[in-house]
Amino acid sequence: MKPPKSALQVKPGRTVKLNKFDPASTHGVPEREEAGMCLAEYLKGIGTWQDRLYAQGTQALLIVLQGMDAAGKDGTVRTVLQEVNPAGVRVTSFKVPSSIEIKQDFLARIHVAVPPRGYIGVFNRSHYEDVLVARVHADKAVVPELRERKDLWEERFESINNFELHLSRNRVRILKFFLHISPEEQAERLRARQHDPEKHWKLSRGDFEQRPFWGQYQAAFEKMLTATSTAHAPWYIIPSDRKWVRNYHVAKLVLAQLEMMAPEPPVVADPELLTIKFE
């Protein structure tokens, strides 16, 4: 099954340069009020199709979210899946690998989090952290015996592509969204967290410590997007400086994917259940 078509999709084989993508772009999006009305319809559609996906139980949808700190991963999940039945959704946030996980192959903890058939799964950060943070901070995030491997990142890209192909062959459809924001917008969002007591809990020292590495992260994202946007699991670069634009694009693509999957509930196993009379 082919993924939804979109001008935001990274075509397989394309070399990505992020400075050619405007994170504040509104191209292809209606005016804000109309976009809000469209979003409401998209969300209702996602809820309807998710019910059918859960009832059918023969295929799954995996949504992968990557982006810099404060890019809006949590907000995207909260908005786009607000109409779904939470019983049929699994959200996994991947943190720094534990002392046990770092001794395993980097996909070991990922595979166990893949959604079962019938579910929508969301990876808030994902296996791609192992070609992003691990690449920028290889001196700390990669075990010593692998640090000098010149082909390490190419091998990991290959492993990721094979892993996602395996999922696709087993009826797990994959949507990958790179939430693209500018350093100025990130700074504004971090300041907003500082000034809002309700958002203080979101602040992390790492958010500020990583800002000097912005250029290295952008280079790592470019290599990742170039190497791992495939026919079965393409990347979509979502302009995310404006939250309403981000939500519009992601919801539209999630709905399009579910419509293409076209899940239908199974027929009633016992037809007599439809004719039982109530006293």
Going by the DSSP 8-state scheme, the letter that residue 9 receives in this structure is B
Q: What is the pLDDT of residues 221-238, one digit of tens each?
A: 999 999 999 999 999 999
Q: Between β-strands 120-124 and 60-67, what pairing exists: parallel, antiparallel or unpaired? A: parallel
What number of CA atoms fall less than 13 Å from residue 232's CA on the CB side? 14
Asked if pLDDT for residue 144 goes beyond 80, the answer is: no
Q: Which residue has the higher pLDDT, 139 or 124?
A: 124
Q: Measured between alpha carbons, how far is 172 from 44 in angstroms, rounded to an integer?
A: 22
CATH of domain 20-261: 3.40.50.300
Among 96-110, 143-157, 161-175, the range scoring the smallest mean pLDDT is 143-157
Look up residue 231 and give its two tokens: 């026919």
pLDDT in tens, 25-37: 999 999 999 999 9
Give the pLDDT band (50/70/90) at residue 99: confident
Kindly tell me if the per-residue pLDDT of 71 is higher than 80.
yes
For residue 267, the model assigns a pLDDT of 85
- What's the pTM value of the predicted model, to 2 decimals? 0.94
Name the residue ranges covered by the structural domains of the chain: 20-261
Sign, CA torsion 181/2/54/59: negative
pLDDT of residue 204: 87
pLDDT tens profile 236-266: 999 999 999 999 999 999 999 999 999 998 8
